[in-house]
Amino acid sequence: MLNEEQLLIQESLRGFAWQTLYDLSPVWDREHRFPSEAIEPMAEMGLFGMLVDPEYGGSGFDTVSYVLAIVEIAAADGSLSTILSIHNSLIVGLIQAHGTPAQKDHYLPLLAQAKIRGCFALTEPDAGSDASAIRTRAERKGDCWVLNGSKQFISSGSTADIALVFAITDPSAGKKGMSIFLVPTDTPGYSAVRVEDKLGQHASDTCYLEFVDCEIPAENMIGQEGQGYRLALSNLENGRIGIAAQAIGMARAAFDIAHDYALNRTSFGKPLIEHQAVGFRLAELMTDLRAAELMVLDAAARKDRGEACLTEACMAKLHASEMVERVCSGAIQTLGGYGYLRDYRLEQIYRDMRVCQIYEGTSDIQKMVISRQLSK
């Protein structure tokens, strides 16, 4: 399914992730520290500009190549793959598709080189899966818009340089009254009030944001006024493909640990893998993992061909995010008590992967979208 260029990307990133990132991941996890030392080498490899057009200084790779990159980074560290996925799928994706020429000329080269990074501020304390229920307001004031409100569960909210903020500009228009604004995070009135203490992905900050009389120029609107909800929906494919790829990478890392252990650990006079209970478990997990990988690659390939692939992206995200929990649980079971210890990294992967069933649309939301397509 992969061409020579894609295979080269996969091979080179696997070596980079293993040699440069893998041993640092537990340190970032324990210290709850942003992986700043990984950003520059990843930027030099073009990872932050994978989906940016070459005319703006990006790599201009296809979606399949991007999926392969996310898989390899996620296999080394889940948090880094989240940072990379948000940057490419959501921030670059929206600005490149719907930004003004001036916005693209200014921001895309900086994003491609990771000189700036972004966050995607849609979710609110009372508006998670139901994005149409957001309450953050933007009011026109001369040549500016003034934002007031709050956002919850915003990845990279305290480390980003720019935020794409969804706000209501016309309360009487329902979903059609939502707009998107590009907000530099050093703008007065923007504040990351709290960095959440989470189960996993400790190296990726997840924040509660507040906007208090946050004033930005009118030209910082992305798209047209009232297009926010539609543009958010139009970008779902990218985000869900990215999280599905992340789940593949973390599942592969967990499976490899269990497989290696089963090959080398002896019990009752023979390697663990030769015991049918263990061998069959690993066979099922590998089959589950491979099926999810093919679903993600299929969704990515469809997107590269210009086909509508929201259903395929949702199915890939649903299956991959639930598959990774089964694989991690099975891997821990294979190691027994050792799997419960930090020494083998499975407990970190187990914590990091759990959110895959929640962000970029919960598993329930994926099922709703898929079932709606079935009813048409």
Question: Mind telling me the catalytic residues?
Answer: 360
Scored b (16 or more CB within 10 A) or e, 18-40 reads eeebeebbeebbeeeebbeebbe
Longest CA pairwise span in the chain (Å): 80
Scored b (16 or more CB within 10 A) or e, 147-176 reads bbbbbbbbbbbbbbbbbbbbbbbeeeeeeb
103 phi, psi to nearest 5 deg: -65, -45
CB neighbour class for 145 (10 Å; exposed up to 12, middle 13-18, buried from 19): buried
Helix (H, G, I), strand (E, B) or coil at 87: helix
| Cα–Cα distance, 44 to 266 (Å, whole number) | 44
Which amino acid is residue 304, in one-letter code? Answer: D
The tokens describing 173, both together, are: 């228009």
| Cα–Cα distance, 319 to 363 (Å, whole number) | 9
Beta-carbon count within 10 A of 333 CB: 16
| Cα–Cα distance, 167 to 155 (Å, whole number) | 18
CA nearest to 43, candidates 102, 116, 105:
116
DSSP per residue, 253-293: HHHHHHHHHHHH-EETTEEGGGSHHHHHHHHHHHHHHHHHH
